[in-house]
A and B are shown apart, each in its own frame.
Chain A
Amino acid sequence: GQNIDQPTEMTATEGAIVQINCTYQTSGFNGLFWYQQHAGEAPTFLSYNVLDGLEEKGRFSSFLSRSKGYSYLLLKELQMKDSASYLCAAYDSNYQLIWGAGTKLIIKP
């Protein structure tokens, strides 16, 4: 079967750095997304990786290793507004998006 695994919850301190990991098993692969979702709101797009390596976008970076079926989202200089769930999702060979359940990130002052 197809599935995405990511930790259920993580806690970090304001101003620090946190890495949220995601492993995926899909029938084929056509790229991986990270979305941010605040409580009670819709997911918003953060990043997309289809090639191996690191993509940097401001305070957020996303990394992909296709051979390991692994990605991470790196958040730097954490702010209280970064408290949210972070969803990992991968396209399979049919361009169906397989979603993880999300990692709830709690930021403490």
Chain B
Amino acid sequence: DAMVIQNPRYQVTQFGKPVTLSCSQTLNHNVMYWYQQKSSQAPKLLFHYYDKDFNNEADTPDNFQSRRPNTSFCFLDIRSPGLGDAAMYLCATSRGVSETGEQYFGPGTRLTVT
């Protein structure tokens, strides 16, 4: 089945220790998104790629970086995680940006910072 896959599902990192979360998709969608979601809050868009075109949200901290080496894979790098970065990180895809299609979500990675 075509899907969005995130690894790992649970990640524990130490304060200040860099961590990378990964996402892959078999849907062949052009757009990939990274969201941060904290408990009982709306998902917060960090950035998205339309193909290789990177779009950073204005309020995304510099501590968060992303890479998309090819259509299928996208990575979220947190350079120096703080306690406030503990959250669920959701990867999503869609066919296009100027289209009204739904976004397809992966299962998420729950990040704990100790």
Q: Which positions in A face B, CB cutoff 8 Å?
A: 4, 8, 30-31, 33, 40-45, 48, 50, 85, 87, 91, 95-97, 99-102, 104
A42 in contact with B108 (CB, 8 Å):
yes
A87 in contact with B105 (CB, 8 Å):
no
Q: Which positions in B face A, CB cutoff 8 Å?
A: 40-45, 88, 90, 97-100, 102-108, 110
Q: A99-B42, A101-B40 are in contact. Are A41 and B108 (CB under 8 A)?
A: yes
Q: Which residue of A lies closest to B100 (CB)?
A: A31
Q: How far is the CA of A99 from the CA of B105 in the complex (A)?
A: 14
B107 in contact with A104 (CB, 8 Å):
no
B42 in contact with A43 (CB, 8 Å):
no
B40 in contact with A104 (CB, 8 Å):
yes
The answer, among A4, A48, A95, A104, for a CB contact under 8 Å with B102, is A48
Q: Which residue of A lies closest to B98 (CB)?
A: A95
B100 in contact with A30 (CB, 8 Å):
yes
Q: Which residue of B lies closest to A39 (CB)?
A: B39
A87 in contact with B104 (CB, 8 Å):
no
Q: How far is the CA of A50 from the CA of B90 in the complex (A)?
A: 25
CB distance from B50 to the nearest CB of A (A): 10
Q: How far is the CA of A96 from the CA of B44 in the complex (A)?
A: 12
CB neighbours of B41 from chain A (8 A): 101-102
Q: How far is the CA of A87 from the CA of B44 in the complex (A)?
A: 13
Q: A42-B90, A87-B42, A102-B40 are in contact. Are A97 and B103 (CB under 8 A)?
A: yes
Q: How far is the CA of A8 from the CA of B40 in the complex (A)?
A: 9
Q: How far is the CA of A31 from the CA of B41 in the complex (A)?
A: 21
CB neighbours of A95 from chain B (8 A): 97-100
Q: A42-B105, A42-B107, A43-B105 are in contact. Are A102 and B100 (CB under 8 A)?
A: no
CB distance from B109 to the nearest CB of A (A): 10
Q: A40-B110, A42-B108 are in contact. Are A48 and B43 (CB under 8 A)?
A: no
B108 in contact with A50 (CB, 8 Å):
no
